[in-house]
Amino acid sequence: NAAEKGGYEHFMLKEIYEQPKTINDTISPRIKDNDIVIEELNMSDEEIQEITKIHIVACGSAYHTGVTAKYVIEGLARIPVEVDVASEFRYRDPILQKGNMVIVISQSGETADTLAALRESKEKGFKVLGIVNVVGSSIAREADSVMYTWAGPEIAVATTKAYSAQLTALYMLAMKFAKVRGTIDQEKFQSMLTDLRCLPDQIELLLGQKEKIQHFANRYVGARDIFFIGRGIDYAISLEGSLKLKEISYIHSEAYAAGELKHGTISLIEDGTLVVALATQPALFQKTISNMVEVKARGAFVMAVTIEGNKAIEKAADYVVYIPETNPYFTNSLAIIPLQLFAYYVAVGRGCDVDKPRNLAKSVTVE
Ligand code: G6P
C-alpha cells in the first residue's frame, strides 16, 4: 500500500532513492581508522596472500556485480577471478584448486542455483564466502562466512539497492585484498577510501536529475530494441542497464562489449535505434567513442553516460548524461543510477507492472 511505499509510486522508485543510505550502511561499519576491516571474512593475512584464484558465482543482477568485481579484484589485487552464472557453474564440474576461494553473491540468499553452487564448492572442500542481503537466509546459514549487504528488505522484483550494496561490498573486499597483498600503495588506498565515502552524496546528485531522465525516457516508450555497449567495467554496467530495462519494460534489449559489435549486433542498428554507450573508463574513452561513431553512421541515436568533463564525447553522442568523477573502479555505482531511472520511466510510460513484472520472481527457489 501507499504507506509502505513511503510516498513513492512504486517500491522500485523508493528503493532507487534508498541507495545513498544503503551504500553508507554497507561501507560505514567496515571502515575503522582509515582502514577497511571486514571481521566477518575470518581470513588471516597469510590466507589472503595465499589465494590463487577467486571463483564468483551468482545469478541475474548479482552475477553482474560479479562481472564488475572481476575487473576490480584483478585490477587492484592482481588475483585471477572467474565469474560464472550459478546454473552453469554447478554443472560444469568446476576446477577448484589449492588456494582457491569461492564467493557467492545473492540478495535473497535463497536462489536455488546459487545455493547448489555453494554446496558443490563445500563438497569439494572449499570455503565459501557469501555476500548476502537477507539475514539468516539459506545461503547465509550455509556459507562459511557471510558479508551482509545491509540494504534492508527489497520488495521490487528488479533489484536496485541490493545491487548497489553488493558492488560496494565487493569494492571493499578488493581493496582489502590489495592492501594485504601489497598491490596498492597507501596513497592510492586512502584516495579510494575517500572516493568510496563520496559515493552516497554523488548518487544523491544523480537522483536529482530524475526529471531530465524521465523526459528522455518518455521518447523511448515505443522502442522495439535498445542496445547497451561498453568496454571493461562499462561492459559490466551495460549488462545490468540492459537487464533492468528488459525485465520491467519488456523492450528487447541487449548488452554488448563495444568492440564485439562489429561481429554481429551492428547489423541490427537501424535509423533511430537507441544505443546507450557507457564511457566511464578514461583509458577506454577513445575506443568507445569510435564504436559510437560506428553505430551513429548506421543511423543509431546515441545516449552516452560518461564522466563529468569528458566533453570530447559530445562529438559522437546525441544525448549525454554526466556522472561525477570518482575512481574508475567505482563508476558502476554512479552510472547505474541514470540507467535504473531510465528503465523505470520507460516501463512506467508503457503502463507496465513495474514492481511485479510478468513471469519473474523476486527469489527463484526452484531450479
Ligand atoms: C531473480 C531476481 C533478480 C536477481 C536474481 C538473483 O531473477 O529477479 O533481480 O538478481 O534473481 O537473485 P538473488 O536473490 O540470488 O540475488
Pick the residue whose CA is nearest to atom 4 on ligand 1. Answer: 60
Walk along the chain (367 residues) and give the pLDDT tens digit of each residue: 667 898 999 999 999 999 999 999 999 999 999 999 999 999 999 999 999 999 999 999 999 999 999 999 999 999 999 999 999 998 899 999 999 999 999 999 999 999 999 999 999 999 999 999 999 999 999 999 999 999 999 999 999 999 999 999 999 999 999 999 999 999 999 999 999 999 999 999 999 999 999 999 999 999 999 999 999 999 999 999 999 999 999 999 999 999 998 898 889 999 999 999 999 999 999 999 999 999 999 999 999 999 999 999 999 999 999 999 999 999 999 999 999 999 999 999 999 999 999 888 888 888 8
- The reply to whether ligand 1 has any atom less than 6 angstroms from the CB of 87 is no
- The reply to whether ligand 1 has any atom less than 6 angstroms from the CB of 112 is no
- The reply to whether ligand 1 has any atom less than 6 angstroms from the CB of 157 is yes
How far apart (Å, rounded) are the C-alpha atoms in residues 32 and 30? 6
DSSP readout, 266-298?
A: GGG--TT-EEEEEE--GGGHHHHHHHHHHHHHT
How far apart (Å, rounded) are the C-alpha atoms in residues 168 and 253? 26
Residue 263 per-residue DSSP state: G
Cβ–Cβ contacts within 10 Å for residue 221, how many? 16
Query: For 195-250, how does the pLDDT look when each residue is reduced to its tens digit (9 = 90+)?
Result: 999 999 999 999 999 999 999 999 999 999 999 999 999 999 999 999 999 999 99
List residues with catalytic annotation. 362
- Interval between CA 198 and ligand 1 midpoint (Å): 27
- The reply to whether ligand 1 has any atom less than 6 angstroms from the CB of 149 is no
| Ligand 1 pocket mutation, candidates 11, 67, 103, 111, criterion most atoms within 8 A of CB | 111
Pick the residue whose CA is nearest to atom 8 on ligand 1. Answer: 362
Q: What is the pLDDT of residue 194?
A: 98
How far apart (Å, rounded) are the C-alpha atoms in residues 310 and 287? 14
Q: What is the ipTM of this complex?
A: 0.95
| Ligand 1 pocket mutation, candidates 363, 365, 366, criterion most atoms within 8 A of CB | 363
